[in-house]
Amino acid sequence: MAKTVSLLTCNEILEPIAEDRLLLTQLQTLGFNTEFVPWQRLNGSAHPTGAVLIRTTWDYTRHLNEFLRTLRNLSQTNRPLFNRLPLIEWNSTKTYLRDLEMQGVAIPLTFWYDQIQDVQGAMLWPSGGPSKSWVLKPQVSASARGTYLLESPATYPAQAAAYQQGGWGPLMIQEFLPSITQEGEWSLVFFDQEFSHAVQKIPKRGDFRVQEKYGGFTKPCRPSADAIKVGRRILDLLPESPLYARVDLIRHPETEQWALIELELIEPQLFLEFDPSSAARLAQALARRLV
């Protein structure tokens, strides 16, 4: 068993957040030495020893090429990395949702574009067609950065110009599902394919973003057996089993079926503080991988 576990963070987060403090305690209880290392400090002379667990590398989307290059170099040292590099590379761009949709996973109606100039308002709001709202997202982003709610052809040109000015690059446009404002997203956390716990993330009134920095709030919840089944099915489609995964689902208001919003395999917030035994479950799952 590896004697040291390094939790990977970033230069912007130099102290463990609440859930990582819980995890560090559980790892130490199992006999591991622990480190808390910003990914920017990994280089040829400063690789951590033992296993590496990616945690709060929350700036990686702004430095994706450098981040992936760093992890590739780390992988060449043969140190255990979780999740493993092939999953991280695949999950780093939201086109993974398109891959899963092709395997039968339900996602909101989504269109994919290489550049914002390819999107015309008439394509989103055709004459005589139903009045829809859409969500514009970069294909590489996190925490709703570069995300816009498109509600009408009158406001779209200004939003498209702001997106282009932001330099967000390739994009996706998803049908806005009103259930997000009513019951939010359901985040299901799995360790080694086994369901651990779940939270419900709800936006503040008048917004659609569930993140706390935009006024959203999070609460523990008990998802239905059907939601857990959907989450397990999605994970079963992956080419390998992740150590940890967060499956973010939203209920389609018309069909009442679950649709996948995000599959988080790189650095998800796992909401360990919402379940007293979840940190121990993750630590034990990691220990089993290192035997």
Express each pLDDT in 67-86 by its tens digit: 999 999 998 888 999 999 99
The CATH code of domain 110-175 reads 3.30.1490
Can you tell me which residue has the tokens 């043969």?
78
Whether pLDDT at 19 is above 80: yes
User: What is the value of pTM for the model shown?
Assistant: 0.93
CA trace torsion 220, 223, 227, 231 (10° rounding): 40
> Which residues does 130 contact at the CB level (< 8 Å), separation at least 6?
none
Q: Is the peptide bond before 83 cis (omega within 30 degrees of 0)?
A: yes
Beta bridge partners of 110: 174
Answer for the pair 145, 138: CB distance below 8 angstroms, yes or no. Answer: yes
Distance CA 274, CA 277 (A): 9
Over residues 130-186, the pLDDT tens digits come to 678 999 999 998 767 889 999 999 999 999 999 999 989 999 999 999 888 888 899
Answer for the pair 58, 22: CB distance below 8 angstroms, yes or no. Answer: no
Listed in order, the ranges of the chain carrying CATH 3.30.1490 are: 110-175
**What is the band of 48 on the pLDDT scale with cuts at 50, 70, 90?**
low
Query: What does DSSP say about strands 244-251 and 258-264: parallel, antiparallel, or unpaired?
Result: antiparallel
Listed in order, the ranges of the chain carrying CATH 3.30.470.20 are: 96-107+179-265
3-state secondary structure of 89: helix
Containing H/E element for 181?
A: helix 179-182
Average pLDDT over every residue of 22-36: 96
The candidate with the shortest Cα–Cα distance to 199, out of 181, 183, 222, 216, is 222
3-state secondary structure of 2: coil
pLDDT at 180 (0 to 100) = 87
The candidate with the shortest Cα–Cα distance to 91, out of 137, 60, 134, is 60
Tell me the DSSP string of 192-243. Answer: TTEEEEEEEEEPPTT----SGGGT-EEEE----HHHHHHHHHHHHTSSS--S
Listed in order, the ranges of the chain carrying CATH 3.40.50.20 are: 4-91
For 4-91, give the CATH class.
Answer: alpha beta
For residue 112, which amino acid is it? W
> Which residues does 254 contact at the CB level (< 8 Å), separation at least 6?
none
Return the higher-pLDDT residue of 213 and 87: 87
CATH label, 96-107+179-265, candidates 3.40.50.970, 3.30.470.20, 3.40.50.300, 3.90.700.10: 3.30.470.20
